[in-house]
Amino acid sequence: MHDFEKLGAFYVGKRIDEATGKSGDELVLYDSRDLTTHAVIIGMTGSGKTGLGIGLLEEAALDHIPVIAIDPKGDLGNLMLTFPNLAAEDFQPWVNARQATDQGQSTEEYAAAQAALWKKGLSGWGQDGARIRKLRASTDINIYTPGSQAGRPVSILKSFAAPQAGLMADGDLYRERVQATATGILSLIGIDADPITSREHILIALILDHYWQQHRDLDIAALIGAIQVPPVSKVGVLDLESFYPSRDRFELAMRLNNLLAAPGFEAWMEGEPLNAQSLLYTAEGRPRTSIMSIAHLDEASRMFFVTMLLNELIAWMRAQQGTSSLRAILYMDEIFGYMPPTANPPSKRLFLTLLKQARAYGVGLVLATQNPVDLDYKGLSNTGTWFIGRLQTERDKMRVMEGLEGASQGGAFDRAKMERTLAGLGKRRFLLHNVHEDEDVVFGTRWAMSYLAGPLTRDQIKTLMQDRVPIPPAAAPAQRAAATVRGSDAPVLAPAIKQYYAPASGSGIVYYPRLLGAAGITFSNARYKVDEQRDAVHTLELEDGPLAVDWDLCESMSISADTLQSNGEPDSGYADCPALFGAQGNYPKWEKLYKRWVRQNETITLFRSKKFKLTSNADETEGEFRTRLQQLASEERDKAIAKLRNRYASKTTMLENRLLRARQAIDRESQQAGKKKLDTVLSFGTAILGAVLGRKKLTASTASKVGTAIRSASGVRKEAGDVARAKETLQKVQADLDALNEDLQREIDELDTSFNAQDEPLEEIVVRAKSTDVHVALFGLIWLPYRDAGDGRLQSAWTD
């Protein structure tokens, strides 16, 4: 194991000797827990800020910490350019052809040079292809491109989902979410709205609040309709028409509608829903590094997306249990414009909320910028770690000094020394100011494992993500169109046969018959603390042949049994109904088969971790359980490290005190030896001068002085011996202290394999319901609505 592969420690670089300005061998390791008090990276263009940021994200990935990284410039996609073999052909597609030409090389030659440079650079910092492989195995990296199909698209406007119950219970947070969402929507159509004076903002906030209080999601189409016909009749004490006439509301609705109809805007409606859990973890519980690339968006769209993302992250955060360990990181590569000192864009309040509250939930923010004068002072004072690189202007230096002084929280702050340090910073050199450490450190950043190719274009992102963009699933399974459509009248069946209709809307509907089973299932298991009630709805298409009913071929439906109707939509068509459906005696037999099938197949699978002696909850997927285990592992790791450090603390303090006394003894003995040497020189000098300048013959007095000088010389030798012995004592104490630290670090390193929950094989425990706990609520024939898809198949037309 390399010296920098430590538990919970990020390898950021090596210490710079401020006296000589040269890099030494002392590693700079940053405790990941310190990121819960957030960090800011400040440096002008060319200072190495992006390289440091990417290095931090690499270390987070190696430590199994998920990341959401907002990328306004396009640089963070370089995290996907990791080449364990360090081969020239891996680099070639990503090298800059213009730079190759400037160097007088072909792209092949330039790629070979870059591969050699990266291999040498990594080697100089103790890294190699094996560490790159470990990085790639530790995280799932994806580039998301809202409003574009280049990377993984993100659906924002499809639904403004109602907040979770926990967030709605917090009045302040809920109001912030309503206000920020309304501001974000209006910013998207170019309206800079004040929450207090803008009637557009007040109306949209009222609409959002109305729907969300009913726990109903709201899509953009419904929002446009609600603006035209609001669900409220009064705003304050004024009636709606007096406050916001219908003609003016129609203009606002048209602006939203025009945005929706604009060419290319459909990309905002496609892709994965904006969900913090899925951005941070895969379905299997593997940590993710999700890069939200917004370089292709205009400023209004960027602000809207960042606002919605921060809203979602806060909602996710509030649903988590508190922790003192680092659970996740939110990184933003350029914060300029999103948290300004005077203006109040919708993102500002959300960033300040995270800076104040995220620590309790183990969420750390890392904010990078080259313009510290354009950042809110209160936000800067809430960051515990400062990575400060070369600064461009005196105003920047002054703002940084003010922020550092505020972040010191009344502690000792040497302003003059800090100014000298900042003035001496060069490229790829940063001052690390950490409120959790006793002293500041100047260090040189380590070599990034990712190839820093510069901002990625949309074509390059598309190339990187071409094998990672998932194919969206169909909305519902398509029905074979082989059955003959009879007409607009449902077939006549015996009154005892219960018939149901799935809810549908629109025209051109054709109903197809299927067998319906809806059951309520109670799962109970005292040993694993399971007490769960679940509802299930299944439909089955009857097959020709001796086994007409095979419930293994059924489909689980998202339709709630409560929403089923007793009549179909008017002017609809009906397919032929197989004769088996008309025999009412078949239904009791089919219902028994269904109940038996439900008991055997509708189960709850629990996951058991032998290492942590924990079992998943009934509503947890394997991925969610692994996520919880990994967080628990991180907490246990941090506790174990703290326990070890506490155990070693008394010995370390004792040796440090002995070290201090040994240094003091050297200083004291050196001073005494120096004084004795001076006295001896003076004694010899006096005796010789007396002999030379006095009488020509050596008198008794002169002889006495010479004897005294000789005795003084003997004393000098004794004092020199005392200094040597004091130095030996210092070396021994220092060796003992180094050995103690090595013992501590060895014990910490031995903890490593015990705190990784990602690869642990989990035991599966299947919980089945008792036969008496399966209750068939509905059973009969269901008519499912379809429309002609135009390709010989019928697309489902039912609504949830």
Dist. CA 291–CA 294, nearest whole Å: 9
Amino acid identity at 680: T
Determine how β-strand 429-434 pairs with β-strand 385-388.
antiparallel
pLDDT at 679: 57
Task: Give pLDDT, residue 203.
Answer: 94
Beta bridge partners of 500: 782
| β-strand pairing of 530-540 with 555-556 | antiparallel
**According to the model, what pLDDT value does residue 408 have?**
66
Tell me what pLDDT residue 478 has: 44
Give the per-residue pLDDT at 158.
Answer: 63
The reported pLDDT for the residue numbered 221 is: 78
Please name the residues in contact with 262: beta carbons below 8 A apart, sequence gap of 6 or more.
Answer: none
Tokens 């899509």, residue? 219
With beta carbons less than 8 A apart as the criterion, state whether 656 and 737 touch.
yes
Angstrom distance (rounded) from CA 96 to CA 548? 64
**What is residue 417's predicted lDDT score, i.e. its pLDDT?**
82
Q: What kind of fold does domain 623-755 have according to CATH?
A: Helix Hairpins (1.10.287)
Exposure of 217 in the CB half-sphere (CA atoms within 13 A):
11
pLDDT of residue 682: 52
Q: Label the pairing between strands 573-575 and 510-525.
A: parallel
Which residues face 141 on adjacent strands? 289
Give the H or E element holding residue 364: strand 363-369
User: Which letter does DSSP use for residue 151 in this model?
Assistant: S
Give residues with Cβ within 8 angstroms of 640, minimum separation 6. Answer: 751, 755
| Interatomic CA distance for residues 558 and 581, integer angstroms | 23
Return averaged pLDDT per consecutive 10 residues of the chain, 800 residues in all: 77 87 87 95 93 97 96 96 96 92 93 96 95 95 93 80 78 84 85 86 92 84 88 89 92 87 77 91 93 92 90 88 93 93 88 93 95 81 91 85 72 78 89 90 96 94 83 44 55 88 83 94 93 93 72 87 87 85 90 94 94 90 89 85 80 75 73 60 52 47 54 56 73 79 74 68 93 94 84 70
User: What six digits make up the tokens of 116?
Assistant: 């050699």
pLDDT given at position 294: 95
Q: Quick check: do 13-19+26-156+274-389+445-467 and 623-755 share a fold? A: no
Q: Which CATH class is domain 13-19+26-156+274-389+445-467?
A: alpha beta
CB-CB contact of 787 with 506 (8 Å): yes
DSSP type of residue 565: B
Q: Domain spans of the chain?
A: 13-19+26-156+274-389+445-467, 157-266, 479-602+769-796, 623-755
Rg of the chain (C-alpha set) = 36
